[in-house]
A and B are shown apart, each in its own frame.
Chain A
Amino acid sequence: MSTMLHLINKSPFDRNSLDSCLRLAKAGSVVLLIEDGVYAAMGKAAYADAVKTRMEDLTFYVLGPDVSARGLDDTSLIDGINVVDYSGFVDLVVEHEVAQSWL
């Protein structure tokens, strides 16, 4: 069984999709934050601890263009989160048999 790719596109401050994903994602899964979901990757934000806790058993990615659009950069993100571009996004989708969008 291959690992699952979890996609989150909503701010954790606005919706509970990050909370639900962090609660239900199986160890070894991959989480990709896109659109307003990238706010979950802000290093000094209230959700940083929740994300850091799951970084022990999940791998986190953010979509770079969405990070830049929102005025964020590598220095404002949680250490250890991987930044991908659109082709990296495509690679992640191809690498995982199942992709779940937390709408």
Chain B
Amino acid sequence: MEPWEEEGPEVVKRFMYVNRKAPYGTIYALECLEVVLIAAAFDQDVSVVFVDDGVCQLKKNQDTTGIGMKNFSNTYRALDDYDVEKIYVEQESLDARGLTEEDLIIPVEVVAAENLAEIMANQDVVISS
């Protein structure tokens, strides 16, 4: 048996994707979204977290026609279709930017840092970008 076969196919790991970057200044946000959508096809327990400037990825009313880049903000709506339902946004990050839940493009669970720390500590794999 190969090392990667030790765990049976029934094992579900908890994967968390932590988004900390604003959407268009770097490619991280778009790349992470694509990774999440691909990973969602593997029937794992997926959580997506938005902290720091990552919360800006979910800001409503993005219009990129003026900067010649793809507006990928609507793609976050697809997370629900891929059964990615654990979407957490840190309250403190929203507060620092003067944003509220109503400013966001998809329904999320807004959590305080203290609670997010708990959720984060319970993951098997954490991928940050």
Contacts and interface: CB of A to CB of B under 8 A. Distances in A.
Contacts, number: 75
A4 B19 CA distance: 36
A71 B73 contact: yes
A69 interface: yes
Contact of A13 (B52, B59, B60, B65): B52
Interface residues of B, number: 25
A36 B25 contact: yes
Interface in A34-77: 35-36, 39, 42-46, 48, 64-66, 68-73
Interface in B46-65: 52-53, 56, 59-65
Contacts of B65: 65, 68
Contacts of A48: 98
A11 B59 CA distance: 15
Contacts of A35: 24-25
Contacts of B25: 9-11, 35-36
B67 A11 contact: no
A74 to B, nearest CB: 12
Chain A at the B interface: SS class: loop
A5 B13 CA distance: 51
Contacts of A43: 98
B97 interface: yes
Given A9-B25, A70-B59, A42 B98 contact: yes
Interface string B2-45: 00000000000000000001111100000000000000000000
B59 A14 contact: no
Interface of B: 21-25, 52-53, 56, 59-67, 69, 71, 73, 96-99, 103
Given A48-B98, A69-B67, A71-B73, 15 more contacts: A10-B25, A13-B53, A36-B53, A43-B98, A65-B67, A66-B67, A69-B64, A69-B66, A70-B22, A70-B23, A70-B24, A70-B62, A71-B56, A71-B62, A71-B63
